[in-house]
């Protein structure tokens, strides 16, 4: 590769397909996502129609195989998608991510051909809305301690327990989500992964978590498993391989959540830059004031640093392999804090207007906080990073 | 039916435009480009014809490598194939030069319909479409805001002064240069973008079209001498005072200048 070619590489949209995809997303976001975002945040509702539109455009199957209707694209394409959606409506982005990455991508890497054949075409077309059930009322970070039990019963398993904070657990107040990957204990500190479908007796929608701080356009619910009968053929991998299954999908989950953070940060920088050019105090636009400049400049620098990190990790990412946990954890650990700081700076720059819903950044501020908790807390990333780096100190160097 | 759509890639509407060193055009490095807005409506109109029946829709553009992206987007939206005239010899062509290149492509392809934008967002000259029709000796119309096809003829509403519409009927083969807003332009779906990778994409030179020496800077009858932002003058008069005073001042000014 010549120096000239190297200089021309666009890390953020390296191929013509990435560029065309980003252009499509920019238009989709402007015309269809942005106009509905405030309302669904206010009403705490998931926009099922918009989800179907996303399916029409192929957005639900970006990383999934073409034979099932997906586009079979790489992690960079997934990052482009979640960055774009999240720059306007992180709540909706989270719902799509829970469906496509936490659920469908999980089935794609962990399910056998039969399960993939059964699930993926329906998930990619948007006929089914999926989610991932890991967290329980008493267990979050400490997943190995989960209490939901799956007991073998002939050719089936019977699942008992409760899962909570499940994104897409419901579609609306009365409608359960369609299909879930569920982690349940099949022995002492032994976890297995199952695909559980609506209609399997004993599965019901529990509490809808209302009044969330942010991400209100995603539906968060508790699911109750009361002797849910699941055929053994719906188990992904062997008994006890649930932890491995979890690990296999965790990296892309974190990377795409990091991408959402980048989208939030970008939007906040744009909003504050624009506002600071228009708002005047003491006879000059506020962008002339050094303290305001500091908010904008620091946020911009941090946003660009986060974008570089996230897209660079995406560039190296191999969706069929593990081994990038260090990079994925680092990307999310950094980017989610950048998003929160940028949103905070944006509110400050907008003053009282920043505090008002109409000016968007307060919604992004509320949404950004989730990224420090969901898909692994800040503390979980910090612990993982130090553990993994200590095991392989050579990976410190970029 | 065969439909040709002419596309131009122009600087993105949000791009910051700076004048280049010799003052003859804008600085093109590091700015974002997009398909000329008028042309996206032309493409959409062609794709609707295809959706309604059978049509082979091909897109044509003239320009450097970057123009490939505009053509790929068009393929992603649903065009069947692309022709990219990518040749330094075409640089500096005036409207007539561009029309000659497009005419040469049209002569090789023999389309039944040619759709293009009324004008380009950057040059605003609105000259290429009528010139192209003239070179091909086919009927044309401009500023079309509604297009209806029935076997062999095309009926167009075109926008004229004062908000009135003129209805014209054309016999194919013909050329229609569209106004913006006549349809809702689709996006390239992800499926479309992936499918575009496998669609035919021809690159042609000026020589391939038999036009060596006839287009480009040398042949241009219109040359850009200099581009410059409008000069800031002191001819503006700013009215001050209360709202009532300002309004009264404005009204007397309008009367004084005989504007109404
Ligand atoms: C809006 C939303 C959507 C969600 N969507 C889903 C979903 O779709 N599916 C799903 O399964 N879950 C989902 N979750 C749950 C989320 O993944 C968990 O909240 C998260 O993993 C943290 O678990 P916890 O809430 O039980 O906190 P805990 O694990 O109880 O942690 C509480 C605090 O203690 C810290 N802590 C815990 N252990 C340690 C330790 N060993 N060392 C240091 N500090 C520690 C944590 O970092 C945290 O600060 C969602 C949560 C929210 C808020």
CATH for A341: 1.20.140.10
**Is the pLDDT at A34 greater than 90, yes or no?**
yes
Asked whether the beta carbons of residue A24 and residue B191 sit closer than 8 angstroms, the reply is: no
B170: left (phi over 0), alpha (psi -120 to 50) or beta: beta
What is the per-residue pLDDT for B163?
84
Same domain (yes/no): A392, A316: yes
Within-domain flag for B69: yes
The total number of structural domains in chain A stands at: 3
What is the per-residue pLDDT for A330?
98
Asked whether the beta carbons of residue A58 and residue B189 sit closer than 8 angstroms, the reply is: yes
Give the CATH number for residue A193: 2.40.110.10
Cα separation values, B111 from A154, A278, B63, B80, B105, Å: 68, 51, 22, 14, 10
Within-domain flag for B233: no
State which residues form the domain around A157. Answer: 130-240
Beta strand B56-62 with B2-6 is parallel
Which residues of A are tagged catalytic? 253
CA A3 to chain CA centroid, Å, is 36
Is there a cis peptide before residue B173, judged by omega within 30 degrees of 0? yes
Same domain (yes/no): A234, A249: no
Same domain (yes/no): A252, A392: yes
Which residues in chain A are contacts of B191 at CB distance < 8 A?
A: 58, 71
State whether the beta carbon of A246 lies less than 6 angstroms from ligand 1.
no
pLDDT tens, A44-56?
Answer: 999 999 999 999 9
HEC per residue, chain A: CCHHHHHHCCCCCCCHHHHHHHHHHHHHHHHHHHHHHHHHHHHCCCCHHHHHHHHHCCHHHCCCCHHHCCCCCCHHHHHHHHHHHHCCCHHHHHHHHHHHHHHHHHHHHHCCHHHHHHHHHHHHHCCCCEEEECCECCECCCHHHCCCEEEEECCEEEEEEEEEEEECCEEECCEECCEEEEEEEEECCEEEEEEEECCCCCEEEEEECCCCCCCCCCCEEEEEEEEEEEEHHHEECCCCCHHHHHHHHHHHHHHHHHHHHHHHHHHHHHHHHHHHHHCEECCEEHHHCHHHHHHHHHHHHHHHHHHHHHHHHHHHCCCCCCCCHHHHHHHHHHHHHHHHHHHHHHHHHHHHHHHCHHHCHHHHHHHHHHCCCCCCCHHHHHHHHHHHHHHCHHHHCC
pLDDT tens, A143-156?
Answer: 999 999 999 999 99
The token pair at B110 is 């023999």
State whether the beta carbon of A373 lies less than 6 angstroms from ligand 1.
yes
- Cα gap B167→A397, rounded to integer Å: 70
Which residues in chain B are contacts of A20 at CB distance < 8 A?
A: 69, 72-73, 76, 188, 193, 196
Same domain (yes/no): A118, A195: no
Asked whether the beta carbons of residue B194 and residue A20 sit closer than 8 angstroms, the reply is: no
pLDDT tens, A80-109?
Answer: 999 999 999 999 999 999 999 999 999 999
CA A97 to chain CA centroid, Å, is 4
pLDDT tens, B173-192?
Answer: 999 999 999 999 999 999 99
State which residues form the domain around B195. Answer: 2-219
Same domain (yes/no): A339, A265: yes
- Distance in angstroms between the alpha carbons of the first and the last residue of chain A: 21
**Residue B6: enclosing H or E segment and its boundaries?**
strand B2-6
Same domain (yes/no): A50, A98: yes
The total number of structural domains in chain B stands at: 1
Same domain (yes/no): A250, A228: no
Listed residues A125, A152, A179: the one ending a domain? A125
Same domain (yes/no): A247, A382: yes
Question: How far is the alpha carbon of B97 from chain A, nearest alpha carbon, in Å?
Answer: 29
Same domain (yes/no): A32, A136: no
Listed residues A240, A266, A297: the one ending a domain? A240
Q: A173 and A191 in contact (C-beta within 8 Å)? A: no
Give the CATH number for residue A98: 1.10.540.10
What is the per-residue pLDDT for B232?
80
> In terms of Cα–Cα distance, which of B131, B147, B141, B139 is closest to B181?
B147
Same domain (yes/no): A386, A255: yes
What is the per-residue pLDDT for B218?
93
Within-domain flag for B240: no
Q: Is B209 helix (H, G, I), strand (E, B) or coil?
A: helix
Give the CATH number for residue B95: 3.40.50.620
Mean pLDDT score of chain A? 97
Same domain (yes/no): A10, A103: yes
pLDDT tens, B92-118?
Answer: 999 999 999 999 999 999 999 999 999
Q: A16 and B72 in contact (C-beta within 8 Å)? A: yes
Within-domain flag for B225: no
Listed residues A68, A98, A125: the one ending a domain? A125
Confirm or reject contact between A10 and chain B (CB < 8 A).
Answer: no
Asked whether the beta carbons of residue B194 and residue A66 sit closer than 8 angstroms, the reply is: yes
Q: Is B87 helix (H, G, I), strand (E, B) or coil?
A: coil
Same domain (yes/no): A299, A325: yes
**List of residues 6+ apart from A301 with CB closer than 8 A:** none
Q: A62 and A80 in contact (C-beta within 8 Å)? A: no
User: Which regions in chain B score pLDDT beneath 50?
Assistant: none
């Amino acid at each position: 590769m010549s120096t000239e070619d190297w200089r021309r590489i666009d890390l953020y949209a390296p191929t013509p397909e990435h560029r065309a995809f980003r252009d499509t997303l920019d238009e989709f976001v402007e015309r269809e996502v942005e106009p509905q975002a405030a309302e669904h945040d206010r009403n705490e509702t998931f926009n099922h129609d918009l989800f179907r539109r996303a399916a029409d455009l192929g957005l639900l199957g970006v990383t999934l195989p073409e034979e099932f209707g997906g586009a079979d694209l790489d992690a960079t394409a997934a990052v482009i998608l979640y960055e774009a959606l999240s720059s306007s409506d992180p709540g909706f982005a989270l719902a799509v991510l829970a469906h496509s990455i936490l659920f469908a991508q999980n089935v794609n890497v962990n399910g056998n051909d039969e399960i993939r054949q059964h699930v993926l075409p329906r998930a990619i077309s948007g006929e089914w809305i999926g989610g991932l059930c890991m967290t329980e009322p008493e267990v979050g970070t400490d997943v190995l301690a989960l209490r939901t039990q799956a007991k073998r019963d002939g050719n089936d398993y019977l699942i008992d327990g409760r899962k909570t904070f499940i994104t897409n657990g419901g579609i609306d107040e009365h409608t359960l989500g369609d299909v879930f990957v569920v982690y349940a204990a099949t022995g002492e500190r032994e976890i297995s992964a199952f695909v559980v479908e609506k209609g399997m007796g004993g599965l019901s929608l529990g509490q809808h978590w209302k009044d969330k701080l942010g991400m209100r356009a995603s539906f968060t619910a508790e699911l109750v498993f009361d002797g849910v009968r699941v055929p053994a053929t719906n188990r992904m991998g062997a008994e006890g391989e649930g932890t491995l299954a979890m690990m296999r999908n965790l990296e892309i989950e974190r990377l795409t959540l990091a991408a959402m953070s980048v989208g939030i940060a970008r939007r906040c920088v744009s909003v504050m830059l624009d506002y600071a050019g228009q708002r005047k105090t003491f006879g000059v636009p506020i962008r002339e004031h050094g303290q305001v400049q500091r908010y904008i400049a620091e946020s911009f620098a941090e946003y660009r640093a986060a974008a570089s990190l996230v897209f660079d990790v995406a560039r190296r990412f191999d969706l069929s392999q593990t081994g990038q946990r260090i990079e994925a954890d680092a990307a999310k650990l950094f980017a989610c804090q950048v998003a929160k700081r940028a949103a905070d700076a944006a509110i400050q720059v907008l003053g009282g207007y920043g505090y008002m819903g109409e000016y968007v950044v307060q919604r992004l501020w509320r949404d950004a906080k989730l990224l420090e908790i969901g898909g692994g807390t800040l503390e979980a990333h910090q612990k993982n990073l130090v553990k993994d780096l200590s095991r392989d100190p050579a990976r410190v160097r970029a | 039916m065969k439909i040709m759509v002419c596309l131009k890639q122009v600087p993105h509407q949000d791009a910051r435009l700076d004048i280049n060193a010799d003052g003859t055009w804008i600085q093109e490095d590091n700015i974002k480009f997009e398909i000329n807005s008028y042309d996206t409506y032309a493409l959409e109109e062609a794709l609707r014809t295809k959706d309604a029946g059978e049509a082979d829709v091909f897109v044509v553009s003239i320009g450097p490598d970057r123009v490939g992206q505009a053509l790929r987007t068009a393929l992603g939206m649903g065009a069947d194939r692309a022709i990219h005239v990518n040749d330094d010899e075409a640089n500096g062509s005036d409207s007539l030069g561009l029309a000659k290149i497009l005419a040469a492509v049209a002569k090789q392809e023999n389309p039944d319909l040619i759709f293009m934008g009324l004008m380009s967002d950057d040059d605003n000259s609105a000259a290429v479409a009528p010139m192209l029709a003239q070179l091909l000796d086919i009927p044309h119309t401009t500023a079309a805001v509604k297009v209806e096809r029935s076997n062999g003829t095309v009926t167009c509403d075109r926008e004229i002064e004062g908000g009135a519409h003129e209805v014209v009927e054309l016999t194919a083969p013909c050329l229609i240069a569209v106004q913006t807003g006549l349809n809702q332009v689709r996006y390239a779906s992800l499926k479309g973008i992936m499918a575009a990778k496998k669609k035919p994409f021809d690159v042609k030179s000026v020589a391939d079209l038999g036009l060596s020496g006839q287009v480009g800077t040398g042949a241009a009858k219109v040359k850009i001498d200099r581009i410059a932002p409008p000069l800031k003058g002191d001819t503006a008069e700013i009215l001050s005072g209360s709202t009532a005073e300002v309004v009264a001042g404005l009204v007397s000014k309008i009367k004084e200048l005989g504007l109404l």
